[in-house]
A and B are shown apart, each in its own frame.
Chain A
Amino acid sequence: MAVTDLNKFLATFFSAKRCTIVENKDGVLTVQLTEEMDRALMNRPFYWHYIKKMGNQGDPMQLTLVTNPNKKEVKGEWIHFGSPRLQQIMNYLNQNEKYTKLFQSMNVESNTPLYPWLITNIKVSYKGKHKKDELISIGLHLVNGSMKVEMMKELSSVPLQQMIPDYCYTISPMIKLESGFKRIERVIDDYIERQTHDWAEESIHLLKKEMTLLQHFYSNDDEENSEQQMEKELKEIKNRYNPTITYQVINGGLFYLSPAL
């Protein structure tokens, strides 16, 4: 789900990163950072270098983040959608929280099997003269090969944990991760194949048009460098308009889920 409540987003983030919430009231959130988070967010490598050299523990900072626009007078950082701090945290997530291995929490007293799933969230970007993105969440059952889309929505009601629950055991995958990923890619390929791509056609049309103009521009030009210059400009036009589709896995991992799912 897209982030709408910035306060909740931040509070969840810092709690998950084991930072103590000092106060959270009326859209004003104060957290005590851990050393790890201080190093990740506060941009003071010299401090940490120095402190550690001296054999000291160091003193991680506190951060006050204000998401309530009516509380702007509170001393702290005003957080809105575009604020550098929020973007920094989102970048942090993007770089550091990409891989996972989770088990469905089960409250059972007899032996229960958990089945392996490869779950990936893939961003598909369509880039021609303009660009748009689509985020696709797909899960693949690594034993029977069945697939589910909108997997993240599916999982939102499933309790998950990092340790295998008591009395549970995991079934070994029949499909290897790598070939599983290929299957997922093929499904997306197929999905793209079935779309009409007006955007790409328009881009190619424009590409050709500008290339013709360019050739005309140089038609009477016999200066020495002009050929080189024209090559450069042709490349720029291609660069700008050539239709491309990119897959980028935002995150994914191995999930062990109960057969009920």
Chain B
Amino acid sequence: MKSIELQRDTQFIMELQKKLNNSDYTSTWDLFSLTYDAELTRMAPAFTGLRALDYLPQITFMEHQIECAEQVIEDMNGRAILADEVGLGKTIEAGLILKEYMIRGLVKKALILVPASLVNQWERELNEKFYIPAIAHRKNYGWEHGEIIISSIDTAKRSPHREEILNIDYDFILIDEAHKLKNHKTKNFSFVRSLRKKYCLLLTATPVQNQLIEIFNLVSILKPGHLGNYESFLERYGKDRTKIKEDIYLKQLIQKVMVRNTRKETSLNNTKRNIETVWVQFSDEERSVYKELENSKYSLPAFSKITYLREICSSREACFLSLNKLEEENKDYSTLDLKHIIQKIEQLPHHTKAVKVIELIKQIGDEKVIIFTEYRATQLYLQWYLQQYGITSVPFRGGFKRGKKDWMRQLFQNHAQVLIATEAGGEGINLQFCNYMINYDLPWNPMRLEQRIGRVHRYGQTKDVHIYNLAIKGTIEEHIMKLLYEKINLFEQVIGQLDDILAELDIKDMGKEIQTIYSESRTVGEAKIKIDNLASIIQQNQRLSEGEVDQFGSY
């Protein structure tokens, strides 16, 4: 066929001639035939099928992941949006696709753009799981060196990196959290559009957050024109995202460039979440301190008062430290009243929740347990207290350096029974080997709670997940638990859904929202009513969006 380009090997025969003339090293028969055998083993004799599966016997892929990789390579020809719901293994799918292309010799040069906080995790996963020699971009390291480079988009788009990168022909581009590219007017978007690429994967759990034009923009990176041009698309679909389910034609078109698996359809459903709220009663001494704080006559700013109340629900130490600091900073507060409370706290016995935690861990037995707390003081206290009972634990904080985080994770996996993490530790580590979690105190931002759960209940989890939420009766913990979290069914929610709803309601930080409610309410009763209202609004929006999510989920 004339239209096929033919590339011959011109070098070999000249080289052979030269070697023979110079009597250079030549191979023995054994090595010569091993070389032939090796090639026979490594080549890809068919257009279809995944060779990579033979190369990765140590990974157990889930069915939807293999299907996804095949679909992207064979039907979508290597340009696709991977839009699985959070926790179904988009990274695994992307790794498998990249591996396959590398084995077939179709990808040599690749650029992987991910959020800065995930660069190391991507590097580790690609190296350890997939044996893909990817390296994180370092300062003073040229982009033209190194075959597979991982970087954050913010670094890549800045001069002088930008110019260097735009001069390279990439075989493969991957962009994680691609929903950040939904706006075509941003620098990120135009940067990605101008990359020179062959294959391209966009990873996002939320391909459409608000407007249909967002998906148009994502598709324009992969296959410009696939959804028509900008004007015609805008005219036809406008800004309404509900049209996506009405228009079968559009849906089909999108299906040609997007793979979306939902938890409902995949076998991840097999592992369940068992959620149990464990109610705890304050001891009399504790309750009296709590009441005293709540009714304190001296003019504590309402804002910090709530903080102290939350702290005393967590540990004596957390509250003690804050009050002490308050006393030192503001000598005018140092009324007898405050001194009195501090003294009372000093004399409190072990926190009733800590006692409960020991009981719970004993009940769980030899299994690994993660405890989340909001306060560092509580973290330290718990570590000491667990030790008294011969329970080994390691701490984990967001502030740890990457290397220390990995080290702690490993210690936990191999040596300690318990990992005690503070809030910021919630992001960026995967702890699927553990399936028991204790929420020692609850964050006021439900997204953070979701992230906590997401650490254990995700792809790779083989057992049912057990989550225990500790809450103290008759305190603000009870309000949050009962009025808010239980009402909006937070614990059963699909991740991501709530995020969308909050965004739609324009609630940026739920924690702040609640704090404002408390500080602006004169009585506990008033605060309760306001929280109840907030929960109702969220609930209402949940119902509204449910139908829509179902439609969208079936992509």
Contacts and interface: CB of A to CB of B under 8 A. Distances in A.
A73 B344 CA distance: 57
B489 interface: no
Contacts of A26: none
B104 A100 contact: no
A47 B389 CA distance: 49
Interface string A87-119: 101100110111111100000000000000000
Interface in B1-29: 1, 3-9, 12-17, 19-20, 24, 26-29
Interface residues of B, number: 69
A213 B36 contact: no
Interface stretch (B194-202, B436-444, B451-459): B194-202
B44 A132 contact: yes
Contact of A101 (B3, B20, B225, B228): B20
A114 to B, nearest CB: 15
Contact of B55 (A13, A82, A161, A242): A82
A233 B197 CA distance: 9
Contact of A217 (B43, B48, B198, B220): B220
A12 B19 CA distance: 25
A197 B4 contact: yes
Interface in A177-222: 177-178, 181, 185, 189, 197, 199-201, 204, 206, 210, 212-221
Interface in A123-143: 123, 125-127, 129-135, 137
Contact of B198 (A9, A220, A236): A236
B45 A132 contact: yes
Contacts of B299: none
Interface stretch (A57-65, A164-172, A244-252): A244-252
B37 interface: yes
Given A81-B55, A240-B78, A246-B7, A161 B29 contact: yes
A229 B20 CA distance: 50
A249 B17 CA distance: 14
A249 B13 CA distance: 9
A45 interface: no
Contact of A162 (B28, B54, B105, B228): B28
Given A12-B34, A131-B106, A236 B197 contact: yes
A99 B197 contact: no
B193 to A, nearest CB: 7
Nearest to B42: A90
B220 to A, nearest CB: 7
B108 interface: no
B507 interface: no
B27 A152 contact: no
Contact of B32 (A97, A135, A212, A214): A97
Given A152-B33, A246-B7, A100 B27 contact: yes
A177 B77 contact: no
25 contacts: A2-B41, A82-B55, A82-B131, A89-B38, A98-B12, A99-B15, A99-B19, A102-B26, A102-B28, A130-B47, A131-B104, A133-B45, A135-B40, A200-B1, A212-B225, A214-B225, A217-B229, A220-B230, A229-B194, A235-B196, A245-B5, A246-B7, A247-B8, A249-B13, A252-B16
Interface of B: 1, 3-9, 12-17, 19-20, 24, 26-48, 52, 54-58, 73-74, 77-78, 104-106, 131, 193-194, 196-199, 220, 223-226, 228-231
Interface of A: 1-3, 9, 12-13, 15-17, 80-84, 87, 89-90, 93-94, 96-102, 120-123, 125-127, 129-135, 137, 152, 155-156, 160-162, 177-178, 181, 185, 189, 197, 199-201, 204, 206, 210, 212-221, 229, 232-233, 235-236, 239-254
Given A125-B105, A178-B14, A254-B16, 15 more contacts: A9-B37, A16-B30, A99-B27, A130-B47, A135-B36, A135-B40, A152-B36, A162-B28, A181-B12, A204-B3, A220-B229, A232-B194, A241-B77, A243-B3, A252-B16
